[in-house]
Each structure stands twice: as C-alpha cells, then as structure tokens.
Structure 1
Amino acid sequence: MKLFVTGACGYKGTVLVPKLLEHGHEVVAFDIQWFGNHLLAHPKLTVVKGDIRNIDEVDLEGVDAIIHLSSVANDPCGDLDPKLTWEISCLATMQLADRAKRVGVKQFIYASSGSVYGISDALQVTEELELFPLSEYNKTKMCGERIVLSYAEDMAVQIVRPATVCGYSPRMRLDVSVNMLTMQALEARRITVFGGAQTRPNIHIDDITDLYVFLLHNPQHTGVYNAGFENLSIREIADMVCEIADAEIVVTPSNDPRSYRVNSDKLLSTGFRPKKTVRDAIEELSGLYAQGVLKNDPTFHNLTWMQQEVV
C-alpha cells in the first residue's frame, strides 16, 4: 500500500515509519520538522517537509491509507498558542479528511489521546463514557475525532486514544512521565514527583506503533479504541524508576488535576496484544543511556523547544 503519514518525524512517527517499511509499504512521511528529522533513508520512503495547515502542500495521489499523527503534542504546548493548536490539530484534520474523501483514500487512522476523558474517577473508563477535555490539546483532539468520524461512510475510520507513551525513539521525548522521570534518575540520581497520586494509563512506544500497523492491516476494526494497558500512579512509576536506576524521590505539591484510568478491553477483543511494559521502557532507556545512545537533547523537550524556535 501507499501510505501518507503525518507527523512522521515525531516521537511515534520515527518508530512507526520503519515498521511500515519493513512490511513492504510505500511511505510518504509528511512533517513540518520543528524537532528535526531522524528517519533513515529507504528506497520506499519519501520525506516531505511541509505544513499540514497548508492543504495545497498535501499530495494524496495514489494514497491508499492515511495515518494522521500530526498535532501540537501535550497540554502545555497546546496552551502555548491556542490558535496554532486549533489550526494544526483541528482545522488541518478537517481539511485532510475532506481531501482524503475527494481523492478516494480507503482508510484513515487518527491518533487522538486518552486525555480527552479529562478527570474521571470511574473504575473503568471505556470508549462509551462522555468526554470532558480540559485543555486546548484535549479539546482539539475531541474535535478531530468527531470530524474524522463524520467520514465513516466514505472510508474505514479508526481512532486511537493512546495512553501516555513511554520508551525510546530516535526523536525522543523527555517531557512525558516515564521518560522524564527515568532521565532525571539517570542524570541526577534524584527525581522530583509533583503530587504522585495522579493515575495515568501508559503504553510502550513499540506497542502503540504496532497497534497502528495492526489497524492498517485490519480495516474491519473501525471506530474508537482506547490504547493503554498499565494504569499506574506517578508515584508507582517513580518507585519503579528508582528501583532500576538507583535514585531517590523528592515529592512536591502539584496543581495538575488530571487523573484517569482507561479500559482497553474493546481493543483486546480485536485480537491485538501488547508485548511490552513500563518496566521494559525504563530498563531499555537505562541501557541506552549507559551505552551513550540516549542523551538529553534540547529538541527532546517539546515545550521549551517550541518556546525558543516556534512560537
């Protein structure tokens, strides 16, 4: 298949694209490259530096399926410039879906976010629960979902609500909980936990990228799917990090109210199975740091990099 992947040079995209190429697909990797490009050259890979907001830059000629990862990722970055966030994460999604329908794209996989649920004390947060997005990022993801679902009669629409992703990518992110705490422990042997009682679902980057491949090859599984397999408190993650990386914990107050637990039984019913855990991610990051592969690069911190280079 010929695939069009937006956000292809990002944290998930940089791990996903090589997997798609391994399966023999032709990939057009479309990305604005605010954080660089870490994709390796491949005969079936075309990397296009472009702005998803400019629909005229998007060439879907011959494309069979779209994997839409592009967005202003995470709450602080989304709140940095709300107008930019809405343009990229919502308006551009509408334009892309409309173009896809017009040119006959058969399948559209949309990367939403598990954080669209907001704060929930439900024991089982399933796909049927009402959404209460809190931030601009969450709201644009909910809006994007509804836009893409409106094209469900025109193409196979598959929406994924990922938990917080952890693990190594060549285009690393050190501003998500597991990765951030692990790097703190490795560098300073001391980690700061804000609050700690907040519960977050987690998923290994190999599992979320495997899921996009799975859905691509199984277009019959349409609709919305939660994707998170370990609901852990921030303190539980910190304890695990300190056990592996030999560090101490400092707990400080937090003004972050987000706490939610997701249920992914619907996804499991498709036959998809995760292969890795949060512990795997911490151990892998620790090993790569020891080898000198993982470093604390400024581009791995989305908010500070965007403040300096983008907004």
Structure 2
Amino acid sequence: MKKILVTGATGYKGSVLVPKLLSAGYQVLAWDTQWFGCEITPHKNLTVVKKDVRDIEQGDLEGIDGIVHLASIANDPCGDLNPKLTWEVSALATMQLADKAKRAGIKHFVYASSGSVYGVKDEEQVTEDLTLEPISEYNKTKMVAERVLLSYQNDMTVQIVRPATVCGLSPRMRLDVAVNMLTMQALKNGEITVFGGEQSRPNVHIDDITDLYLFLLKRPDVTGVYNVGFENLTILQIAEYVAKRIGAKITVTPSNDPRSYRINSDKLLATGFKPKKTVEDAVTEIIEAYQSQQLIDEDRWYNLKWMQLHQLH
C-alpha cells in the first residue's frame, strides 16, 4: 500500500482529496496547521498531524512514496496580508520540502500551483508556454516554487498543476472564491453585488481538481506543467447564471481590480484526463446544501476574514 503525504490536507481541496485517496487504497499522512479546523473523518489508513509545513524535518518523510503539496497561503488578499509569511510558507517551505524529498528518495511530487501565475494576459488562449508575469505575492511565490521543483525533474516525477479558481462543496468550505461567493450572496441576500464584472475567471469543479491529483499519482509518465480549468467565464456571466437559478437581482458597481485570467487546458486533456463536472453543478450542489442546512455561512469559510480575526498573519 503506497503512502502519500498531503500538505494542506485539511484545507478546501485537501478535505475532498484525502477521503478519495483513502477510498483508492492509499495510506495518507495529512499535514496541516489546521488554522481553519479539521473536517476530515478518521480512517484506519489516515494519520492527521497538526503541523506547519515550515517545520518539516528529514525524519518526517520516512516511508513516504509520494507527496501532494497543497499547503500555501491561499489567494491574493491573504498573500498580501503578510508577504514575509507568504514567502516562507509558499516558497521557502516548498524548496525545503523538495530538497528533503530528494534526500528521502521520494520519487513522486505533485504540486498545486495556480492558474494566476500568468498575470493579466491579452491572449485568448493562455497556454503553458506563455511567460509568467505574476502580479501578487501569492502568484510570485507559486512561480518561484514551480521553478525550484522543476530543477528536481531528474530526481523524481514532478507534476505541476496550475488550477483555475476552484468551485463546489467541501467539508472545509470556502465562500471567498467566485462561484461559491456569488451563490451564497444570492441565497442569503437575494442580491449579488458584482464589482466590474467583465473580468474573466477560469473555473474548475473541486471534484475534477481532486480527481486530477489521483490521476497524476497513477500516471508518473505525465510530467511537467499543466493548466486545469475548463470554463472561462466573466464574473458577470457567473452572476447571471446564479441569479437566474435563485431568482436574485444583480447590482454592478465599478471595480479597480485588473485581474482577468483565462487558461487553456488542451495539454491536460491530451493526457486522457476528462473533467466530469461544471460550474452549474457547483451552483446546484451549494444551493442544495444551503437549503438542507448542511452548509451554513460562517466566518471560517472566508480565509482573509478568519486570518484577520485570529491574527494568523
């Protein structure tokens, strides 16, 4: 039975990924600071450790076959809150983890980067060979971590994933990402406030991005860098769909946010990976969870608000 280390394991994506890994027959070592709690159900093949990724020691990696590295200070506003912390967690700790993984003889490293590393691009098709021009601390740390990991390609299988904005339900929910946030606004207030609206966002369902990590663990031949986003939509397009589903009204106000991202995922699709879900599925799942009271609007589902409230910066 292969043993996989997942960093950031109790976060938004990790809380969906870990049960899938266990179901697929892996042993899982789950590391997280647990700033946002731990919603993962105990399992005989699961070990959850409350651990900061900056504090990894060589001995911690004994018996590990592969790493899925999700841990980072997530999103632009949180990254800008404390740039020093962001660089330590998202770049320096990744560098140290890669070095220790090589020393431990670990042969498989999957890294969650971000589709936002390209910065603002005019090209309609943003492919993996375009230059990276990150505009925030979050994007910059992801770019640096990618370059560090690619330097280990001769030592291990390195798979770098550049996800779009993730949407959909997780036991550790996030309501500060576009689709989820707009859906919750409509459900709670009957109104969606859109800042600008013409900014594009690539989107990927949380089930598809977590399925991809499993796909990559089984496909060490699929190496290098891959975009992961299957629906490029403007914020206004997302809002209009949500408003139609819920019967909410939309208020559009000016925005000084220049961030407009699109990505092309043809390279990934050529490997045989097939997405199964859409933004519409994510909206439906959130509506059903909210109406059945499985999903409640809480401060801890908003990274920036929670980090500020609890001085996690």
Interval of TM-score (by shorter of Structure 1 and Structure 2)? over 0.9
> Is this contact kept in 2: 1:28–1:47, CA < 8 A?
yes
> Is this contact kept in 2: 1:93–1:144, CA < 8 A?
yes
What does residue 304 of structure 1 align with? Answer: 305
In the TM superposition, 1:34-73 aligns within 5 A as: 34-56=35-57, 59-73=60-74
Over the matched positions of the two proteins, sequence identity in percent amounts to 66
What does residue 102 of structure 2 align with? Answer: 101
Tell me how far apart the structure 1 counterparts of residues 35 and 239 of structure 2 sit (CA, whole Å). 30
Q: Report the aligned-residue RMSD.
A: 0.8
Which residue identity is paired with 2:238? I
In the TM superposition, 1:1-311 aligns within 5 A as: 1-56=2-57, 59-309=60-310, 310-311=312-313
Which residue identity is paired with 1:265? D
> Is this contact kept in 2: 1:111–1:161, CA < 8 A?
yes
> Is this contact kept in 1: 2:109–2:157, CA < 8 A?
yes
| Offset of residue 55 of structure 1 | 2.1
CA gap 1:57/1:188 in 2 versus in 1, 3 angstroms:
farther
> Is this contact kept in 2: 1:191–1:248, CA < 8 A?
yes
> Is this contact kept in 1: 2:58–2:104, CA < 8 A?
no
> Is this contact kept in 2: 1:50–1:57, CA < 8 A?
no
| Offset of residue 260 of structure 1 | 2.1
Q: How big is each residue's C-alpha offset from its partner over 1:214-269, in whole Å with a ceiling of 9 and x where there is no partner?
A: 00110110000000000000000000100111100000111110112110000000
| Offset of residue 58 of structure 1 | 6.7
Please give the TM-score of this superposition, normalised by the length of structure 1.
Answer: 0.99
> Is this contact kept in 1: 2:30–2:48, CA < 8 A?
yes
| Offset of residue 57 of structure 1 | 8.1
* Structure 2 residue matching 1:59: 3-state secondary structure: helix
Q: How big is each residue's C-alpha offset from its partner over 1:265-309, in whole Å with a ceiling of 9 and x where there is no partner?
A: 000000000000000000110011000001111110000100111
| Offset of residue 121 of structure 1 | 1.2
Tell me how far apart the structure 2 counterparts of residues 126 and 104 of structure 1 sit (CA, whole Å). 32
Tell me how far apart the structure 2 counterparts of residues 58 and 25 of structure 1 sit (CA, whole Å). 20
* Structure 2 residue matching 1:173: 3-state secondary structure: coil
Please give the TM-score of this superposition, normalised by the length of structure 2.
Answer: 0.98
May I ask how many residue pairs the two structures share in their alignment? 311
| Offset of residue 76 of structure 1 | 0.1
* Structure 2 residue matching 1:239: 3-state secondary structure: helix
| Offset of residue 161 of structure 1 | 0.1
> Is this contact kept in 2: 1:6–1:68, CA < 8 A?
yes
Tell me how far apart the structure 2 counterparts of residues 281 and 10 of structure 1 sit (CA, whole Å). 18
Tell me how far apart the structure 2 counterparts of residues 212 and 159 of structure 1 sit (CA, whole Å). 10
> Is this contact kept in 2: 1:52–1:58, CA < 8 A?
no
| Offset of residue 7 of structure 1 | 0.2
| Offset of residue 173 of structure 1 | 0.3
Q: How big is each residue's C-alpha offset from its partner over 1:18-48, in whole Å with a ceiling of 9 and x where there is no partner?
A: 0000000000000000000000000000000
